[in-house]
Amino acid sequence: MTTLDVVRTAAARVEDAVKVYGAGATRVRALDHVTVDFPAGRFTAVMGPSGSGKSTLMHCAAGLDTLSAGSAYIGDIELGTLNDRRLTVLRRERIGFVFQAFNLVPTLTVRENITLPLDLAGAAPDRAWLDVLIDTVGLGDRLHHRPSELSGGQQQRVAVARALAGRPRVVFADEPTGNLDSRAGAEVLGLLRRAVDEMGQAVVMVTHDPVAAGYADEALFLADGRLVDRMAKPSADRVLDRLKAFERGRS
């Protein structure tokens, strides 16, 4: 495959990405020449120690922050070529987000939260698709509840349904299970897994939890802003071993 083909087929991609924060003594190189693609139908876990650049990679790949050098693509659109308005539209229409804090709107019902991105975009919801999503997240009997009436796991499942509602090219999730107990976390991870398997979704998930990474098709490992390793079909045990090996290597 040529580079151009990869650019065409990846749901998201960063190429030779560099991100520098600050200047002088406080200058930090949070991304140091990272190239990686996130294809449709693949669940990618991004791992690495605290401060290794995981969130920065996600934010720059998703157009929430800009690179200092290199390029970020959603589909074949290079984010650096877009003005703020076009970037906002692209984020709304092509990208789904799930954050550690569920970020639901407390005054809206479950159903209104799920359709919020579509409502903001002025897009008519695809009712059949919404029914599938609501069925998949298992919240059919909670549609008229407010987020405060739901458990943490239920709230995060609403956030996942919201991220999927507009059939985005890619869903980015930053520590989506960080605030959940293991059972609720498993529900959310199972839901992301189904979005990949049954809907062909591209999912990119930042996590430091080897169990969470075990749901992914591939795990990427960052250290000091560099992509230092990748593992196909990761299992929790193998990921844990790899993380331990990195720590031994660093000390």
CB 98 within 8 A of CB 159: yes
Look up residue 153 and give its amino acid.
G
CB 59 within 8 A of CB 35: no
- Span near ligand ADP by CB under 6 A; candidates 51-59, 78-86, 162-170, 191-199: 51-59
Minimum Å gap between C-beta 69 and ligand ADP is 15
Of 133 and 216, CB closest to ligand ADP: 216
Minimum Å gap between C-beta 225 and ligand ADP is 7
Minimum Å gap between C-beta 57 and Mg ion is 9
Binder of residue 53, out of Mg ion, ligand ADP, none (CB less than 5 to 8 A by kind): ligand ADP
How far is the CA of 120 from the CAs of 91, 95, 138, 166, 237, in angstroms? Answer: 12, 14, 24, 11, 42
Residue 207 binds ligand ADP (CB under 6 A): no
Select from 22, 138, 190, 200 the one that contacts ligand ADP (CB under 6 A).
Answer: 22
Of 161 and 171, CB closest to ligand ADP: 171
Chain Cα centroid distance, residue 247: 25
- Span near ligand ADP by CB under 6 A; candidates 21-29, 32-40, 116-124, 132-140: 21-29
In the block, residue with structure tokens 């605290």: 50
| CA angle (6 as vertex; 190, 168 as ends), nearest 5 | 40
Specify the 3-state DSSP secondary structure of 30: strand
Residue 21 binds ligand ADP (CB under 6 A): yes
| CA angle (37 as vertex; 8, 39 as ends), nearest 5 | 65
Specify the 3-state DSSP secondary structure of 12: strand
Select from 39, 51, 75, 178 the one that contacts ligand ADP (CB under 6 A).
Answer: 51
Interacting residues with ligand ADP between 52 and 111 (CB under 6 A): 52-56
Residue 23 binds ligand ADP (CB under 6 A): no
Of 52 and 113, CB closest to ligand ADP: 52
Which DSSP symbol is given to 147? G
Binding site for Mg ion (CB under 5 A): 54-55
Give the other-Cβ count within 10 Å of 5's Cβ.
9
Residues of this chain that interact with ligand ADP (CB under 6 A) are: 21-22, 28, 30, 48, 50-56
